[in-house]
Amino acid sequence: MPNANSHLQFSCPHRQLYTVFNPTLNIYPTFAVQNFGMGHKKVIVYIALVLAMVFWSLSFVWIKVVYVSYGPLTAVFFRLIIATILMLIYGWISNNLLKIEKQDYRLFLLLAFFEPFLYFMGESFGLKYISSTMGAIIIATIPLFSPIAASYFLNEKLSFRNFIGIILSFIGVGIVVFDDSVNFIISPLGICLEFLAVFAAIAYTVVLKDLSKKYNASTIITYQNLIGIFYFLPFWLVFESKSLMNTAFNLHAFIAIAELALFASCLSFIFYAFSLKKIGMNNANIFINLIPVMTAIFAWYILGEPLTFRKLTGIAVVIAGLFIAQVKMKKFIARLVTIQQDGGR
């Protein structure tokens, strides 16, 4: 059996990813920063990182495409099946899929309950009531709230930057959610469901802390998705299996499910992990802030969702909150000065 210490490792304060989707909590795999010399190699790294952001942004749009013909449970159930098969193949090829020890079965069951089960229950059903852009904005706040859970359950300090970031994120979401008279202009049920996904991701991080010390990222993601299939199976059989049998096959919607599995659940993770290894978590996490912006653009172009000034303003405020919470300004300014002195290289 491969040595767990020789593979990707998770570290917490949080974030996940959706399972690798959230990056302000160190739920993502942590790698040593390496110096790769030639500039063209860095270009490859940034291309991989941007592609990961593009795929994760498109996932909010692909879900809407699936909903034209299929329900949320069908979308998630078959997405998990395809993603698990692909991750098993990836683990076999890369030889980094570890065996779960018997004493960790309960933790993996709890982990999979929070994510993918509870997370996708909130996110997928929430997106039936709100726009792709609004869903992306709310999900983007996961890294901001994770430090609160970390301070309570993991005894990690909640910084002033985290507090300011949380306040700004609430303001940004409020700009999009409320009108000038403080009345909801977006479904409250959809918003609550999306925040259920946020809660699930944060709880996932707390459970992940112990498992991340023993298992690599590929192992955790593969098995949590595999267990998630069995969590969703009874709900799918009861609520959507019959309707699926009576629904005409929609190739476009099925392709969207395959895209969610391949690009959002597999390739995005692989590309993001590769980038983390090369440029480190702090640099890579800044790119996560692009997801609400990219989602808004893709949703406007593909789905025809309106791109209003109010929505753009709310996105900008949320991203500002994320940026403040993640970036240590002294180091960031020093980095900018260094880049300027090096001629922008």
pLDDT digits (tens, 9 = 90+) for 171-214: 888 887 776 655 677 899 999 999 999 999 888 888 887 888 89
Under the banding of pLDDT at 50, 70 and 90, the label for residue 326 is: low
Which DSSP category does 202 fall into? H
Average of pLDDT values for 91-118?
A: 94
pLDDT of residue 206: 83
pLDDT of residue 165: 79
pLDDT of residue 285: 66
Comparing CA positions, the residue from 191, 208, 193, 186 lying closest to residue 306 is 186
Backbone angles phi, psi at 165, to 5 degrees: -60, -40
Q: Identify the sign of the CA torsion 18, 19, 24, 30.
A: negative
Percent of the chain with pLDDT strictly greater than 90: 42
Q: Which two tokens stand for residue 78?
A: 């078959």
Q: What is the pLDDT of residues 222-274, one digit of tens each?
A: 999 999 999 999 999 999 999 999 999 999 999 999 999 999 999 988 888 78
pLDDT of residue 32: 37
pLDDT of residue 2: 39
Average of pLDDT values for 117-139?
A: 93
pTM for the complete prediction? 0.78
Q: What is the pLDDT of residues 210-224, one digit of tens each?
A: 888 898 888 988 999
Under the banding of pLDDT at 50, 70 and 90, the label for residue 5 is: very low
Under the banding of pLDDT at 50, 70 and 90, the label for residue 16 is: very low
pLDDT at 129 over 50: yes
pLDDT of residue 23: 37
Per the model's pLDDT, the better-predicted residue between 27 and 273 turns out to be 273
Q: CA 274, CA 262: separation in Å to the nearest integer?
A: 16
pLDDT at 18 over 50: no
pLDDT at 156 over 70: no
Q: Which two tokens stand for residue 128?
A: 């039936």
Q: Which two tokens stand for residue 321?
A: 């909150």
Under the banding of pLDDT at 50, 70 and 90, the label for residue 302 is: very high
Under the banding of pLDDT at 50, 70 and 90, the label for residue 336 is: very low
Residue range of the domain that includes 306? 4-341
pLDDT of residue 340: 45
Q: For the chain, list the strands marked E by DSSP.
A: 9-10, 29-30
Q: Identify the sign of the CA torsion 227, 81, 114, 192.
A: negative
Average of pLDDT values for 154-164?
A: 73
Total of domains in the chain = 1
Query: How many whole angstroms from its chain centre is CA 133?
Result: 14
Q: How many other β-carbons are positioned within 10 Å of the β-carbon of residue 196?
A: 17
